[in-house]
A and B are shown apart, each in its own frame.
Chain A
């Protein structure tokens, strides 16, 4: 929703996560509110990888954290495995979170530098009292092995002794320790080199298959998203622009913002350089978002209607939903 709507919701019984009308706002100073996420709905079906793409400040991370109730949203429902997380008392929420784990952008600062790898991965198992000491050790070894680390070499070392890519592997092992059903990855490869990026993306694909995970994958890089997702949602200033399967979204984007994002991705081929109109300027302040369609101030296709009326999500081709008054045909 650079507009609003729920046309893209599938409402099937297979939904692992359903978010309805989620709103997150932060008070800043007197009488000022940052509208980070505004009335957003989404659902994630079992085994799916939903990618959320958008520029810095579009509310991607806030959305992910609101799903985990970190902090809880101002309004809306977050139904995970049939339970509305927003209504759970604190203690039940903690146990519900064990099956929904998160991986963060900066792998080095998200691991406690004073803990050994063994302690890092054992911590969740110990807190939730999963098995005996020997069983837990066996589980730790198995996890490390599956993320491509040699347990004997790494168990007694600490995070600062590892590279960014290795730390991200440790984070993945830790996130999977409690056998979650869902993994929320917040820009897990943005801080990594291209060659390491590919390793981590392949690892996530492999772990998804091995552990039957459902994933929410946040990134600002459409190229990264394409490699890993089964459905892509483009966000702008706290609302949805477009939702579509990746191959459709990349070959025939319907929203002007999606096309602009695609045109900004550098292509490693000097004969295929796109030199069309670039997206100018930066997103407006989320404290005072534009009326109507939130993207209209930077949109090449904007008309008077866009300022007056907020576009609703509608299906323009099978599985492709767009919130735009003048979609690209």
Chain B
């Protein structure tokens, strides 16, 4: 378990919902749309305080993991409202206990801005994903366009101690981890995007 990452998100859990009020409502339509793809046994990575749970389609079989026990304590309240199977577990993506090829799909939501080693984390997801299984991501990334790339580079060292990194190239990281990219859809500028990828069969 990465203790420093765990401590960071345990600390952030106390004000996370306050800061997430606007973003979650703004992104709700897009997330609902992405999550309609959920099918089979689904691993939801970094479920946090469970802000995304109300957007899950009903009747799904989902395992939600997060590195922060304090985040999950809050998520449990929202999970109790979910009309389906939702199992929450404290787990570090870099040390996942799940057996190989045990999930049909993996879904992430603003996760790979924060995973300390994103390529290793994505490779771990590939390990637990069935061959040919789908990866659906809602992520914010760096930008290739001035002045947004400059802004994100300035903000990254300021926000990193208590939150995410703003300038990651998550699409490239997904490819580096061996996934086959099927679709990248820009939600806001080239910064907020949905990524659909497949673990090669």
Q: Report if A and B associate in a common complex.
A: no
